[in-house]
Amino acid sequence: MLGRLAIFLAYQLEGSKAFKRWKRIFHNLVENPRSRMRPYFDLFMMVLVTLSVFLYIYEVKHGIDTFGRYFELFAVSLFVCEYLVRLWLCDDSHKTIIEHYEKTEFLDLRFRLWPALRQILLCKWRYATTPFAIIDLLAILPAYQSLPILRVFILLRLFKLLRYAHSINEFIRVLSEKRFELYTLAFFLGFVTFASSTAMYVFEGEVNGGQIKDFSDAVYWSFVTLFTVGYGDITPQTPEGRGITFLLVVSGVGLVAFLTSLLITAFAEKMDELRESRVYAEVEKLKDVILVCGYGRMGQVVVKKLLEDKVHFVIIDRDRERVALAKKRGFLVIMGDASSNEILVKLGIRDRVTTVLSLTGDDVHNVYITLTAHHLNPKLNIISRANKPESARKLEQAGADHVIQPFEIVGLTVAEYVGQPVAFEAVYGMASGDRHFRIEAVLVREGSILDEAQISEIRFEKKRLILFGIIGAAHESRNGLSGYSLRSRFFYFNPAGDFRLHANDILVVFGHEYSINHFKETADKGRLKLSRKTA
């Protein structure tokens, strides 16, 4: 009976949209590192924790007042809620029940609630014993005012701050990688402390005229001496005790030096990695990222242009000097091989990256980058550089959408220059968008004023524009017109006045950037005036 109720409820939850929505909202609030609400929530909790600890410090001298009591109540209830929400979010309990039920149905067995329940409880228990969950719990405990000793646990709330400060995770990660050395050190420390404490207890006891009353005194003295603090409240009185002190101080100095060097090397080794993990975290927040593989001369030119446009980009390079240069200029940069699946996936090649520029000076590497990127996400726009003419075809085969051939571009510019110097300057200027004159594409939106308009009605010359042509699909009204085929569409050069536009056509216009922007704006907002002859 209880089992049936559980199954019914589980299916109800599975089908409920509101339940899922709430779960997603809470997930965004407390867990999802990429949500917009999360940083605010973290900040709020940090402030709350700090305030509650300050209140505790205030209480020590002044005693608690009504406001303090209410504030404490508020903080604790919020902590409890947070704890419960996290416990709820750690897995999907109703799915476990459904899974169990379906398994038993499949095997034609009777459904029993207990195994499913046990699995759910086990899962929750596993979460509850993670360090962060324990810290959360300890932050709640001081609410039991009846036990004064628990009030000290309020200080443990400070640990809760770590939960919200993300850099601490990296700190812990670095330390955990030096686990072996730290364990060795801890073992050595334990051994030395134990041996010296025992010796002190034996030689420096009150029986022998020493100051050590019991074993805990001996341990306390050993620690203070070993870490070279030496308060001097307990001092060795016997020659044996002094001998032990010599040994302990020497090993203490060695120990401290060893520990310090251990920590420093651990961080020095991981410094690059730490910095890089920051880059990855930063990239994770972005959308529509361009990946620039290779920060050589060509990469630098492109990056400079991208920067002017405020487009998001990440640089990957294998060369240490170039990476340092990019870093100095304040760009997001990863040192490594751009053809490594791991780096590309971590940078979000599947969802965040839209374009990959493979611009290294090595064609083999470019082909490999292109292939890897295309394989990981076929929808990417990949632009690749071919340093040798033979490589162009290979790059296209590897999945490059555009292949840039520097020598060919130079050849073209040279040919234009020799043929017609002035026209060359015009083309060069237009292609590079210099001198404020440029060619631009203007899309005819559905239902816009341009839709169904005739070319002669638009009067480009009045708008100080030159119409080069129209890119559009073949249409019955365009039969008999010759267009240049352009991928799946046609380019109609210099169309006649009675040429009729349709939605999704693209006008290719030339003019000063002001004129172009003005034209686009008026066309988009429907303020463009057409000169209809019959209207």
Partner 1 sequence: MSHGKIALFGCNNLGLGAAGRLNSRQHRFFLVDNDEARVKTAVDRGFDAILADYRDDEVLRSIGIGEDVDTIFCFFPEDSENVFLTISARALAPKLRIVSVVESPEAADKLRAAGADKIIDPYEVSGRKIYEIIKRPIIVDILDQTVYGRHDLKMAEVEIPEGCCLDQRRLSELQWKERYNLILLGVVNRERGKDLRFVTGGVDYKLSAGDVLVVLGPPQEIGAFKQEICVH
Is 427 a binding residue for partner 1 by CB under 8 A? The answer is yes
β-pair type (381-385, 353-358): parallel
Cα–Cα distance for residue pair 100/483, rounded to 1 Å: 64
Is 329 a binding residue for partner 1 by CB under 8 A? The answer is no
Is 517 a binding residue for partner 1 by CB under 8 A? The answer is no
Cα–Cα distance for residue pair 28/47, rounded to 1 Å: 20
Write out the binding residues for partner 1, residues 78-117 only, by CB under 8 A.
Answer: none
Stretch that binds partner 1, among 47-55, 207-215, 433-441, 472-480 (CB under 8 A): 433-441
Nearer to partner 1, 134 or 415 (CB): 415
Stretch that binds partner 1, among 103-111, 197-205, 273-281, 413-421 (CB under 8 A): 413-421
Is 418 a binding residue for partner 1 by CB under 8 A? The answer is yes
Is 472 a binding residue for partner 1 by CB under 8 A? The answer is no
**Of the residues 34, 108, 109, 309, which one makes contact with partner 1 according to CB under 8 A:** 309
Cα–Cα distance for residue pair 349/314, rounded to 1 Å: 11
Q: Is the dihedral of CA 461, 463, 468, 473 positive or negative?
A: negative
Write out the binding residues for partner 1, residues 344-363 only, by CB under 8 A.
Answer: 355, 357, 359
Classified as helix, coil or strand, 315 is: strand
**Of the residues 193, 235, 277, 387, which one makes contact with partner 1 according to CB under 8 A:** 387
Measured CA distances, 217 to 196, 204, 235, 517 (Å): 12, 11, 11, 83
Task: Give Cβ neighbours of residue 503 (< 8 Å, ≥ 6 apart).
Answer: 444, 445, 446, 447, 448, 451
Is 163 a binding residue for partner 1 by CB under 8 A? The answer is no
Beta carbons of 454 and 497 less than 8 angstroms apart: yes
The C-alpha angle 346, 348, 353, rounded to 5 degrees, equals 140
Stretch that binds partner 1, among 119-127, 134-142, 229-237, 300-308 (CB under 8 A): 300-308
Task: Give Cβ neighbours of residue 202 (< 8 Å, ≥ 6 apart).
Answer: none
**Of the residues 184, 261, 265, 420, which one makes contact with partner 1 according to CB under 8 A:** 420
Nearer to partner 1, 96 or 300 (CB): 300
**Of the residues 383, 400, 501, 528, which one makes contact with partner 1 according to CB under 8 A:** 383
**Distance of closest approach, residue 294 Cβ to partner 1, in angstroms:** 11
Is 293 a binding residue for partner 1 by CB under 8 A? The answer is no
Stretch that binds partner 1, among 11-19, 179-187, 364-372, 460-468 (CB under 8 A): 460-468
Tokens representing 481? 């017109």
**Of the residues 385, 457, 472, 478, which one makes contact with partner 1 according to CB under 8 A:** 385
What distance separates the 2 farthest-apart alpha carbons in the chain?
122
